[in-house]
Amino acid sequence: MKFSSTELERYDRQIRIKGLGKSGQSKLKKARVMVAGAGGLGCPTSIYLVAAGVGHVAIVDKDAVELSNLNRQILHWSNDVGKSKSVSTIKKLRQLNPEVKVEAIPKAITSDNARKLVKAFTVVVDGLDRWSTRFLLNKACVEEKIPFVHAGVYSLYGQITTVLPGKSPCLQCIMPKPPPEEEKFPVLGATAGTLGLLEALETIKIITGLGEPLVGRMLHFDGETMSFQEIRVERRQGCPVCGSL
Ligand SMILES: [Zn+2]
Residue 36, pLDDT score: 98
pLDDT exceeds 90 at position 13? yes
Q: 31 CA distance to ligand 1 centroid (A)?
A: 25
Q: 39 CA distance to ligand 1 centroid (A)?
A: 26
Q: 174 CA distance to ligand 1 centroid (A)?
A: 7
Q: 180 CA distance to ligand 1 centroid (A)?
A: 19
Residue 234, pLDDT score: 97
Residue 117, pLDDT score: 97
Residue 186, pLDDT score: 96
Q: 69 CA distance to ligand 1 centroid (A)?
A: 32
pLDDT exceeds 90 at position 178? no
Q: 179 CA distance to ligand 1 centroid (A)?
A: 16
Residue 24, pLDDT score: 98
Whole-model pTM over 0.85: yes
Q: 161 CA distance to ligand 1 centroid (A)?
A: 13
pLDDT digits over 106-160, tens only?
A: 999 999 999 999 999 999 999 999 999 999 999 999 999 999 999 999 999 999 9
Residue 159, pLDDT score: 98
Superfamily of domain 5-152+177-215: NAD(P)-binding Rossmann-like Domain (3.40.50.720)
Q: 98 CA distance to ligand 1 centroid (A)?
A: 38
Q: 14 CA distance to ligand 1 centroid (A)?
A: 34
Torsional sign, CA 185, 115, 61, 29: positive
Q: 226 CA distance to ligand 1 centroid (A)?
A: 30
- What value does the mean pLDDT of the chain take? 97
Q: 183 CA distance to ligand 1 centroid (A)?
A: 26
Residue 1, pLDDT score: 81
pLDDT digits over 190-212, tens only?
A: 999 999 999 999 999 999 999 99
Q: Which has more pLDDT, 2 or 11?
A: 11
Q: 207 CA distance to ligand 1 centroid (A)?
A: 22
Q: 132 CA distance to ligand 1 centroid (A)?
A: 15
Q: 245 CA distance to ligand 1 centroid (A)?
A: 9
Q: 100 CA distance to ligand 1 centroid (A)?
A: 34
pLDDT digits over 221-239, tens only?
A: 999 999 999 999 999 999 9
pLDDT digits over 47-98, tens only?
A: 999 999 999 999 999 999 999 999 999 999 999 999 999 999 999 999 999 9
Q: 177 CA distance to ligand 1 centroid (A)?
A: 11
Q: How confident is the model over 15-43, as a mean pLDDT?
A: 98
Kindly list the domain boundaries of the chain, sorted by start residue.
5-152+177-215
> Could you count the other beta carbons within 10 Å of the beta carbon of residue 80?
21
pLDDT exceeds 90 at position 217? yes
